[in-house]
Structure 1
Amino acid sequence: MTKLQGKTALVTGGSRGIGRAISLRLAADGARVAVHYGSNEVAAKQTIADIEAAGGEAFAVRADLAAEDAARNLWAAFDEQADGLDILVNNAGIGKHQPLADVTPEWFDELFAVNAKAPFFLIQQGLSRLRDGGRIINIGSGVTRIAFPADTAYSMTKGALNTLTLALAKELGPRGITVNTVAPGIIETEMNGWLADPAAATAAAAYSTFNRVGQPADVADVVAFVASDDARWVSGQYVDATGGSQL
């Protein structure tokens, strides 16, 4: 497939989980992919190796998204290897099941730094690099659609992305840039290690109308559509990719 031939994409948190699947899929569609990672260089190198083995192109960029100068550092690393951008996927995120009473100010600040502040400033500082007709895709979460008290603080960070998507779609429309949120449900990744418990996995599967837990590729395929020219008339949208969870 060559829908994205000649395009350059940046996927934050692109070395593992959903981000890895997105990196692989965009590369398969022809994009040259910048695979961002925070600390796991081995995972990033493996993702790049897998892309190249399949005939695609990719390179790594490292930046700690919790750092005060995260956006500047990431774009500096990107600029060393690319001269412009067509697709920005804000996928990187942190989280853990934690009820309201257990959330500390320190954890709250870190959550917002990585999940909301970093995407905001990556976009702000990346707009000069993003070509007209480009794509910004924020990876949200189904927990912004349903009440999920076990993840209140995390849900707030993803809700912020939904609002960011809406405002930016209006602002960037004149440049032909689309901005959308793709919201996964429960996906089998390292971040959801609790799914290793068979009873927990069965309960999680019951959320979806398909009675199964989602896979990273389920989300990556939706992102690939939103990134393509086929989605040129779609902007400012919350695209539910939860497998019909909690309908």
Structure 2
Amino acid sequence: MIDVYSAATPNGHKVHIMLEECDLPYRVHHVDIGAGDQFKPEFLAISPNNKIPAIVDDEGPDGESLSMFESGAILVYLASKVGHFLGDTDREKFNTLQWLMFQMGGVGPMLGQAHHFRIYAPEKIDYAINRYTNEAKRLYGVMDKRLSESEYLAGEQYTIADIATFPWLRSWKNQGIDWADYPHVKRWFDEIAARPAVQRGVAVLSSQHKPLTDDKARETLFGASQYARR
């Protein structure tokens, strides 16, 4: 059994979707990041960077319990565990990993900044809004070109690169994106959104999701609390 410590965020949904795609048994534990659950010692024991998601697999690769943090690493681990969604040959695996790193190093951080400055920042800073909106559009353009040549991001197979990227594009409106400008991404997005396992995955913990409206939650996520050394 895999225990998942998570929330209904893009990074959380990556792992929820993957577990559903792999048909692995799991239990979900909600980490209320607005209330500061991510700073509790018991969570830091499995996720020292105080970020969701994290997992504990009581049937690790050596038969012993294994805990993991970082969503991309969790996806690689789960793909290796089930022998699927990573690619069959070495070439396919490395191609999958490069597009996974594209999501981890580009799509996630940059679209996250676009969300922050367009929606959550206490003051509207035109320079930051324009910088990250333009970077979001550039990244969508990279994906659109790739998907004009390939069925999926890493090639002709659906992989963890697609699973990692899809949840971040669900908030395309908040990123200042017009689907008309990225028809190949839209084709890919709609195809993935229709997958039953994806639909089940994005529903996980969705009832626990709260709009970020109160000052305490804003301070916990964006204020001094997150910078304390633990």
Instruction: Say whether the fold is shared (TM-score over 0.5).
Output: no
TM-score (norm 2): 0.35
| Structure having the larger proportion of residues in strand | 1
| Structure having the larger proportion of residues in helix | 2
Which one scores higher on RCO, CA 8 angstroms, separation ≥ 6?
2
